[in-house]
A and B are shown apart, each in its own frame.
Chain A
Amino acid sequence: MRVAAPSGTSSQLQVRSRSAWGDQLFKWLTLLMALLVFVLIILIGYELANGSRLGFAKFGWRFLTSSNWDPVNEQFGALPFIFGTLVSSGIALVIAVPLAIATAIYLTEIAPQWLRQTLTLFIELLSAVPSVILGLWGIFVMVPWLREHLFPSLGDVLGFTPLFRGPIYGVSLLAGGMIIALMILPIITSISREILRSVPGSQREAAYALGATRWEVTRIAVLAYAKRGLFGAVILGLGRALGETMAVTMVIGNRPEIAASLFAPGYTLASVIANEFTEATTDIYLSALFEIGLVLLGVTLVFNALAQLLLKTFSGSALKQV
Chain B
Amino acid sequence: MLINGAGATFPLPIYSKWFHEYSAVDPSVQFNYQPIGSGGGQKQIIAQTVDFGATDGPMSDENLSKAPGRILHIPTVAGAVVITYNLPGNPKLKLDGPTISDIFMGKITKWNDKRLIALNPGTKLPSMDLVVVHRSDGSGTSYIFTDYLSSVSPEWEKRVGRNTSVKWPSGLGAKGNEGVTGQIKQLPGTIGYVELAYARQNRLPFADIRNSSGNFVTASIDSVIESLAGAKIPDDFRFSMVNLAGEKAYPISGATWLLVYEQQKDATKGKKLVEFLNWALTKGEVMAAALDYAPLPEGLRKRALDKANSIKF
Task: Please report A residues at the B interface, Cβ cutoff 8 Å.
Answer: 68-73, 139-140, 143-144, 147, 167, 169-171, 249-250, 253-256, 265, 267, 271, 274-276, 278-282, 285
Contacts and interface: CB of A to CB of B under 8 A. Distances in A.
A279 B160 CA distance: 17
A279 B179 contact: no
Contacts of B172: 169, 171, 253-255, 265
B186 A279 contact: no
Contacts, number: 94
A144 B86 CA distance: 15
Contacts of A171: 172, 183
B166 A72 contact: yes
Contacts of A70: 166-167
Interface stretch (B36-44, B77-85, B195-203, B234-242): B36-44
B173 interface: yes
Contacts of A276: 137-138, 165
Main DSSP-derived SS at the A contact region: loop
A69 B36 CA distance: 22
Given A169-B131, A255-B173, A278 B37 contact: yes
Interface in B255-290: none
Given A144-B186, A265-B173, 15 more contacts: A68-B167, A70-B166, A72-B161, A140-B182, A253-B172, A254-B136, A255-B171, A255-B172, A267-B173, A278-B40, A279-B137, A279-B165, A280-B39, A281-B163, A282-B63
A81 to B, nearest CB: 12
A171 B132 CA distance: 13
A71 B167 contact: yes
Given A72-B160, A147-B187, A169-B131, A278 B167 contact: no
A72 B164 CA distance: 9
B182 A275 contact: no
B175 A254 contact: yes
A281 B38 contact: yes
Given A144-B186, A275-B136, A254 B165 contact: no
A250 B171 CA distance: 15
B173 A253 contact: yes
B211 interface: no
Nearest to B161: A72
A250 B39 contact: no
Contacts of B164: 71, 279, 281
A279 B187 contact: no
Contacts of B187: 147, 169-170
Contacts of A69: 167
Given A144-B186, A167-B129, A275 B167 contact: no
B91 to A, nearest CB: 22
B174 interface: yes
Given A143-B186, A280-B39, A249 B139 contact: no
Interface in B123-179: 129, 131, 136-139, 160-168, 171-175, 179
**8 tightest A-B CB contacts, nearest first:** A279-B138, A254-B173, A278-B37, A72-B161, A254-B136, A70-B167, A281-B39, A275-B137
A96 to B, nearest CB: 25
A250 B38 contact: no
Contacts of B129: 167
Contacts of A140: 182, 186
A275 B176 CA distance: 9
Contacts of A167: 129
Contacts of B131: 169
Contacts of A253: 172-173
Contacts of B186: 139-140, 143-144, 170
A143 to B, nearest CB: 7
Contacts of A73: 161, 167
A254 B167 CA distance: 12
